[in-house]
Amino acid sequence: MQNEQDQILSEVTSGEYKFGFYTDIEQDSIGKGLNEDVIRTISEKKNEPEFMLEFRLKAYRHWLTMEMPRWAHLNIPEIDYQDKIYYSAPRQKAKLKSLDEVDPELLETFEKLGIPLQEQKQLAGVAVDAVMDSVSVKTTFKETLAEMGIIFCSFSEAVREYPDLVKQYMGSVVPYTDNYFAALNSAVFSDGSFCYIPKGVRCPMELSTYFRINAANTGQFERTLIVAEDNSYVSYLEGCTAPMRDENQLHAAIVEIVAMENAEVKYATVQNWYPGDKNGKGGIYNFVTKRGICKGDNSKISWTQVETGSAITWKYPSCILKGDNTTGEFYSVAVTNNHQQADTGTKMIHIGKNSRSIIVSKGISAGLSNNSYRGLVKVLRGAENARNFSQCDSLLLGDKCGAHTFPYIEADNQSAIIEHEATTSKIGEDQIFYCNQRGISTEDAIGLIVNGYAKEVLSKLPMEFAVEAQKLLQISLEGSVG
Amino acid sequence: MSTVTSKISLKDRFINLYSEKSGEINKNSSALMNSFREEAVERFAKTGLPRKGTENYLYADVESIFGADMEKYFGERKISLNIREIFHCDVPDLETNLLLLVNGRFFNNGQMLKKMPGGIIAGSLAQASKEYPDLVRKHYGKYAGNSEDGLVSLNTAFAQDGIFIYVPKGVKVEKPVQIVNIMIAENDLMAQHRNLFIAEEDAEARIVVCDHTLSAHRFLTNSVNEIHTAGGAKLNITRVQNEHNGSSQVSHTFSRQEGGSELSSITISLHGGFIRNNVYVRLDGERAENNTMGLYLTDKGQFIDNFVHIDHAAPNCCSNQLYKGVLDDYASGSFNGRILVRRDAQKTNAYQANNNILLTDDAKMYSRPQLEIYADDVKCSHGSTMGQLDENALFYLRSRGIDRREARLLLMFAFAHEVIQNIKVDALRDRIDDLVDKRLRGELSRCNNCAMQCG
């Protein structure tokens, strides 16, 4: 039994990273290093208005005064911020008019990724704003959306076309002073997505972005801003993959969501950055700040994430429940294998009356990995009748991995009801035995059980993503039980 | 981050105090305890006092407590009061072996070390380390020694005395041993004592610790307890914290459990302005069992912080944490419990629960139940709740003619009793039930015949 499992384990762990290809496209990069001149160059290259440059410089100066956070349960090697390239874009000669003009190699990359960028994909009903190494290459479905008044474009375009909106909301949820990586991102961010849903509009399709880190040694610093006006609704998908590379790549993104009265925003992520090889070499450092604010009454923000990639993940999608009767949701499946480390969770800040939040986190660790849930539930004084329920389960596959739970619960209000539950366990031998008895192989049984374990979260994903996520779980885990 | 200030930093103040007084400190202690001081000062110089906002001291502002200007004395001092007359514990049927600790020093009634039948030794730690240096050396500083907490180093540097209890192999101590910690002075006073409890193989003992203040001055205690339970030993410790609200105390308890041992400790915190209890348990042998429980009933501006760290270093062990609290007025509290299951500690069963009731909007509670697990064949779970009394239960009682206030009290009492029922000394359990009942009713909860001004 042991031998068999070892064999399965080695088969799985020696499996190649499926998305580890590298596209050879001409890149427009600037030299390594970070200083005010680099920031000025980035801003200049992107033709940004003065206020953006100011914002970047302020953020950079603030960043210089900060120290790298050390509180997470992570072992982060020293990062040399001067050894990174902070801008890299596929070289574009002129603006593209149609899909045919898109670099065929780039299209091939996307095809490998399975991004529905071409016409046939239109049937899938997904509008994709593909961000490849920081600059939006192609945005589809823009017209359909524009008819309804929805703005969905790259961040740099938004800076040029809708400077007022950007000025008003950028940094309003995640100020550049927020944390070390948010400051870094605010200083050097290259591109990202901007989404604006006007009053009373229900976005008819799932909006989707694919991030992909391509060039060696470039940090990916994208920024997403979603604003949902009163009575609007949008569901947003983000998917990430990165090619295989030996050196660790840095990824420090910011996502900001603003939900006004009665608005609802759903944000789903499937993160599959390159996790490094089985000896822990290479892989992405994923230090992300994601935060949404339920500004208006009765608004709702829901985060769903499936985290299977990255060598190191440091990520806490949060909700500030400012309005009355607001709802925050967080559903997460985090899988770590080999030498991966993840410290992820959420923050629910209850400010408004009758605000409620739910946290469901499922951690799965295998190999030599460490997987931590870290979540804050804070109920402020005015948040009468605030309600929270948290469920954090960890599943250990193998005896050399770690699963940790670090909840922080802070209550300043007597009417608050906060519940936190967590369990840690492994897949029961009786469960596997039961499946074996019915002719299901051990490997399939594990896949079955893990999928069942994560079902509560996976069911929150939009259909296309759920399928992909389920596959990812299989790739990352199947058979890795020791 | 270094800031230039004209004042001497708090850390340097303690270091200077040590170099100034080390002669006097050494003179009034034992060679064994003295031999640990220099290294502890060096450690302290590196770490300093724990800062508020760091992971282990997220909510407790130790610096402001230790920064207060307080007297510290290291020589002999005649206590003018006759403690025997003033202190008369009236818990009915509570027959105990009484040990008194006054301002961190064993109270001298002529006999510094009691030798009881069966080879039990109890009394002054300084004296014990003179008479039984080999025995004390085997344990002293062994469990607390590696702590990175600056306050532990501070204690090691300054502690001159404390309580020593030794229960030899296979001996069962019938009568509970009661330690009464008394603070009494004519000025604000800081004291640091050190206790060492050793239970050898298959020994059994029950220990009751009561913290009291006898004068209205501000007091600060920084104590370290080291506990060793050898294979099969059973130790049961009940601690009642009942100092007045102008006093502050930080206690660190380091327990080491060998295979098959059982250690249960219950801490009942009633009064006291600033209380921080650090509990570190290491389960070092198979089939060891640990129960660590706490109950805190706070009001006014009290602050209570329980920090528990259970380290499962051996397989097949079992641990259980239960902390419950009721916070009234503008009291604030914090619970930080961690279960660490090391790589090969398979078949671990660990459970942790923290339940809180907030009675007002000004009361604050921070809860951090944590799991850190590196073994796969384990059953670990934790739960934390914050909330109010169950409206349905209240309705049930009121529909049976019990008024709202009484119904609330009844429910709170039931809530608290879940912890109290685990106290193994019957007479004490009844007394604490009574104290808690009074505490919840807002009546003075001090023992009837005791002249000590607790509360």
How many angstroms separate the CA atoms of A306 and A294, rounded?
A: 23
Pairing of strands B97-102, B105-106: antiparallel
Neighbours of A4 (CB within 10 A): 12
Where in B104-176 does DSSP place strands (E)? 105-106, 113-116, 120-124, 163-167
How many angstroms separate the CA atoms of A397 and B449, rounded?
A: 60
One-letter amino acid identity for A2?
Answer: Q
Nearest to A411 among B365, B371, B374 (CB): B365
Nearest to B383 among A415, A420, A482 (CB): A420
More confident residue, A100 or B2: A100
Average pLDDT over residues A56-60: 92
Chain B closest-CA separation from residue A54 CA (Å):
28
Residue A337 lies in a domain: yes
- A464: pLDDT strictly greater than 80: no
Residue A71 sits at the chain B interface (C-beta within 8 Å): yes
| Interface contact flag, B387 A418, Cβ < 8 Å | yes
Where in A308-454 does DSSP place strands (E)? 312-315, 318-321, 327-336, 341-344, 347-350, 356-366, 370-379, 387-397, 402-411, 417-426
pLDDT for residue B87: 59
B400 Cβ neighbours under 8 A, 6+ residues apart: none
A residues 422-461 closer than 8 Å to B (CB):
422-426
CA nearest neighbour of B172 among B113, B118, B226: B118
> Could you identify the residue written with the tokens 């049930």?
B396
How many angstroms separate the CA atoms of B434 and A393, rounded?
A: 40
**CB-neighbour burial class of residue A384 (10 A; exposed 0-12, middle 13-18, buried 19+):** middle
CA nearest neighbour of B212 among B186, B252, B247: B247
One-letter amino acid identity for B225?
Answer: N
Average pLDDT over residues A250-263: 92
| Interface contact flag, A405 B371, Cβ < 8 Å | yes
| Interface contact flag, A419 B55, Cβ < 8 Å | no
pLDDT > 70 fraction of chain A, expressed in percent and rounded: 75
pLDDT in tens, chain B (455 residues): 444 444 688 899 999 999 999 999 999 899 999 999 999 999 999 999 999 888 889 888 998 899 888 888 888 777 665 655 555 565 656 677 888 888 888 886 678 888 888 899 999 999 999 999 999 999 999 999 888 899 999 999 999 999 999 999 999 998 889 898 888 888 899 999 999 999 999 999 999 998 888 888 899 999 999 999 999 999 999 999 988 888 999 999 999 999 999 999 999 998 889 999 999 999 999 999 999 999 999 988 999 999 999 999 999 999 999 999 999 889 999 999 999 999 889 999 999 999 999 988 889 999 999 999 998 888 888 888 888 888 899 999 999 999 999 999 999 999 999 999 999 888 889 888 888 888 888 775 555 444 444 44
Neighbours of B83 (CB within 10 A): 17
Residue B364 sits at the chain A interface (C-beta within 8 Å): yes
pLDDT for residue A251: 84
Complex ipTM:
0.80
Structural element, H or E, at residue B379: strand B379-387
Chain B environment of A401 (Cβ under 8 Å): 374, 376
| Residues spanned by the domain of A287 | 2-477
Least confident segment among A274-283, A392-401, B137-146: A274-283
Residue A472, phi then psi, degrees to nearest 5: -60, -45
How many angstroms separate the CA atoms of B40 and B43, rounded?
A: 5
Per-residue b/e over B106-140, b at no fewer than 16 CB within 10 Å?
Answer: bbeeeebbbeeeeebbbbbbbbbbbbbeebbeebb
pLDDT for residue A481: 47
Residue A50 lies in a domain: yes
Coil, strand or helix: which one is A456? Answer: helix
Coil, strand or helix: which one is B346? Answer: coil
Chain B closest-CA separation from residue A346 CA (Å):
14
Going from the C-alpha of A188 to that of each of A57, A66, A85, A88, the distances in angstroms are: 9, 16, 10, 11
A135 Cβ neighbours under 8 A, 6+ residues apart: A89, A90, A92, A154, A156, A190, A191
pLDDT for residue B446: 54
Residue A195 lies in a domain: yes
Residue A301 lies in a domain: yes
pLDDT tens digit sequence for A406-455: 999 999 888 899 999 888 888 878 888 999 999 988 878 887 888 888 88
CA nearest neighbour of A134 among A42, A64, A226: A42
Which DSSP state fits B331? -
Residue A154, phi then psi, degrees to nearest 5: -75, 160
Residue A482 lies in a domain: no
How many angstroms separate the CA atoms of B71 and B218, rounded?
A: 10
Residue A403 sits at the chain B interface (C-beta within 8 Å): yes
CA nearest neighbour of B240 among B263, B269, B271, B276: B269
Residue B387 sits at the chain A interface (C-beta within 8 Å): yes
> Could you identify the residue written with the tokens 């200077």?
B16
How many angstroms separate the CA atoms of B432 and B439, rounded?
A: 10
Residue A447 lies in a domain: yes
How many angstroms separate the CA atoms of B389 and B359, rounded?
A: 9
Tokens of B211: 């913290």
Per-residue b/e over B290-320, b at no fewer than 16 CB within 10 Å?
Answer: bbbbbbbbbbeebbbbbbbbbbbbbbbbbbb
Number of domains observed in the structure of chain A: 1
Instruction: Specify whether the CB–CB gap between A368 and A396 falls below 8 A.
Output: no
| Interface contact flag, A412 B378, Cβ < 8 Å | no
pLDDT for residue B440: 84
pLDDT > 90 fraction of chain A, expressed in percent and rounded: 33
Residue A26 lies in a domain: yes
Helices B426-441, B404-420: axis angle to 10 degrees equals 150
Neighbours of A405 (CB within 10 A): 31
Residue A282 lies in a domain: yes
| Interface contact flag, B361 A412, Cβ < 8 Å | yes
DSSP-assigned states of every residue in B46-95: HH-SPPTTBTTBSS--HHHHHTS--B---S-----S-HHHH-----TT--
Chain A closest-CA separation from residue B383 CA (Å):
4
Chain A closest-CA separation from residue B188 CA (Å):
32
- Residue in chain A closest to B330 (alpha carbons) equals A412
Chain B closest-CA separation from residue A418 CA (Å):
5
Chain B environment of A426 (Cβ under 8 Å): 376-378
> Could you identify the residue written with the tokens 């309600």?
A387
Instruction: Specify whether the CB–CB gap between B33 and B133 falls below 8 A.
Output: no
Chain A closest-CA separation from residue B397 CA (Å):
21
More confident residue, A322 or B436: A322
Going from the C-alpha of B314 to that of each of B239, B282, B378, the distances in angstroms are: 27, 9, 12
How many angstroms separate the CA atoms of B431 and B201, rounded?
A: 31
What is the pTM assigned to this prediction? 0.83
How many angstroms separate the CA atoms of A333 and A271, rounded?
A: 10
Residue A145, phi then psi, degrees to nearest 5: -70, -40
How many angstroms separate the CA atoms of A321 and A348, rounded?
A: 7
